[in-house]
């Protein structure tokens, strides 16, 4: 497998690279190194068949040059603008990267018959559900510019599969957490604020529910799809660990023995109440199961942030709240 990974310097892409580097013949990580990209996330990846290219996925001539140089057989497409709050204050970059960037990669696949692409998408495309579960058949109802841009990329990808017969798969993951996540997102933000003894900002009344998936479990699920996924199919990757935000924050305080206090702040506009996917297809058709419970994953994550000081970035430079 000659693999192009986009956005591999980010949180989930770097976990994927660390997990699969020994299973492929070649791996090129194309990343624009936005504020969310950090090559320290890959400092342990030293294999000679790993190459990093700094560049934008929207740059079609660059993609074509890389294809000539490396002859990719597969693409796993993580690169995106990912933070809901940033999409509310500045949606344009989300449309450029998440929609036009995906378009550029689809064109690369179209121009290279036999190439396979997997698109990393999100449960947020389904919108919010008070009761019950999303499945792969649930119609999309995105609430934020971020989730709308991801939904657009999904639609475009499936339309390319139908129109041009290209080989693509898509996965929707629930909220990932683990090492190397930029501390604008809930779990690393709360850990870094607890470590600094600062107040913990929680949106609304904290009753919003999220389903949590440890990032290395996500990486294994994506590998399973690459190996066994059926072309044109969509797979929901659920952590099956639903918890209210307030309860999650209280658990982080408890595990860290922190004195930080929770402060409720004005809710995010269009804030989805609950995400929950059934996720049976991954288990039944691809035999994937998560390995990390939320408890175990949280302990490992806290340990990583507390002990890897160089990766605990300054939370004050990020937006105050963080829920995606
Ligand atoms: N974090 C989650 O909980 C979650 C859940 C479900 C799905 N997803 C999806 O997973 C993917 C990865 O998420 P993440 O949390 O690792 O994101 P992240 O923000 O940590 O990393 C994104 C990476 O993409 C790179 N990037 C951004 N724009 C680029 C461009 N134009 N060209 C090349 N590189 C670019 C950044 O430099 C960064 O390294 C995204 O597609 C996201 O929508 C995330």
Quick: pLDDT tens for 181-223.
999 999 999 999 999 999 999 999 999 999 999 999 999 999 9
Ligand 1 in reach of 80 Cβ (< 6 A): yes
pLDDT digits (tens, 9 = 90+) for 148-185: 999 999 999 999 999 999 999 999 999 999 999 999 99
Ligand 1 center to residue 8 CA distance, Å? Answer: 8
Ligand 1 closest atom vs CA 38: 39
Ligand 1 center to residue 85 CA distance, Å? Answer: 14
With contact defined as beta carbons under 8 Å apart, do 184 and 246 qualify? no
CA angle (174, 177, 182) in 5-degree steps: 115
pLDDT digits (tens, 9 = 90+) for 62-77: 999 999 999 999 999 9
Ligand 1 in reach of 36 Cβ (< 6 A): yes
pLDDT bin (cut points 50, 70, 90) of residue 322 is very low
Token representation of residue 285: 């058709």
Ligand 1 in reach of 34 Cβ (< 6 A): yes
Q: Does the model's pTM come out above 0.75?
A: yes
Ligand 1 center to residue 11 CA distance, Å? Answer: 7
Ligand 1 closest atom vs CA 96: 31
The per-residue pLDDT for 309 is 56
- Domains of the chain (ranges plus CATH)? 2-176+212-237 (3.40.50.720), 178-210+241-274+293-317 (3.90.25.10)
């Amino acid at each position: 497998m000659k693999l192009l990974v986009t956005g591999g310097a980010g949180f989930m892409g770097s976990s994927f690279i660390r997990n699969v580097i020994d299973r492929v013949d070649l791996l090129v990580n194309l990343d624009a190194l936005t504020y969310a990209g950090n090559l320290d996330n890959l400092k342990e990846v030293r294999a000679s068949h790993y190459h990093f290219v700094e560049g934008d996925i929207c740059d079609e001539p660059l993609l074509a040059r890389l294809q000539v140089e490396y002859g990719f057989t597969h693409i796993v497409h993580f690169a995106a603008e990912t933070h809901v709050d940033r999409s509310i204050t500045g949606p344009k970059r989300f449309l450029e990267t998440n929609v036009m960037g995906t378009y550029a990669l689809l064109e690369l696949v179209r121009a290279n018959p036999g190439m396979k692409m997997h698109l990393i998408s999100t449960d947020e495309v389904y919108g919010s559900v008070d009761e019950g579960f999303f499945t792969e058949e649930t119609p999309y109802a995105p609430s934020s510019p971020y989730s709308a841009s991801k939904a657009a990329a999904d639609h475009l990808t499936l339309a390319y599969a139908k129109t041009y017969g290209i080989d693509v798969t898509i996965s929707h993951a629930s909220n990932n957490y683990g090492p190397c996540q930029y501390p604008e997102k809930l779990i690393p933000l709360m850990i870094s604020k607890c470590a600094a003894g600062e107040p913990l900002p929680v949106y609304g009344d904290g009753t919003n529910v999220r389903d949590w998936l440890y990032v290395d479990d996500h990486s294994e699920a994506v590998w399973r799809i690459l190996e066994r996924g059926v072309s044109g199919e969509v797979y929901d990757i659920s952590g099956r660990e639903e918890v209210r935000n307030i309860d999650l924050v209280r658990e982080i305080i408890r595990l860290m023995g922190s004195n930080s206090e929770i402060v409720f702040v004005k809710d995010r506009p269009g804030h989805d109440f609950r995400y929950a996917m059934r996720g049976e297809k991954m288990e039944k058709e691809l035999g994937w199961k998560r390995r990390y419970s939320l408890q175990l994953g949280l302990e490992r994550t806290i340990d990583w942030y507390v002990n890897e000081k160089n990766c605990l970035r300054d939370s004050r430079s990020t937006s105050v709240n963080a829920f995606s």
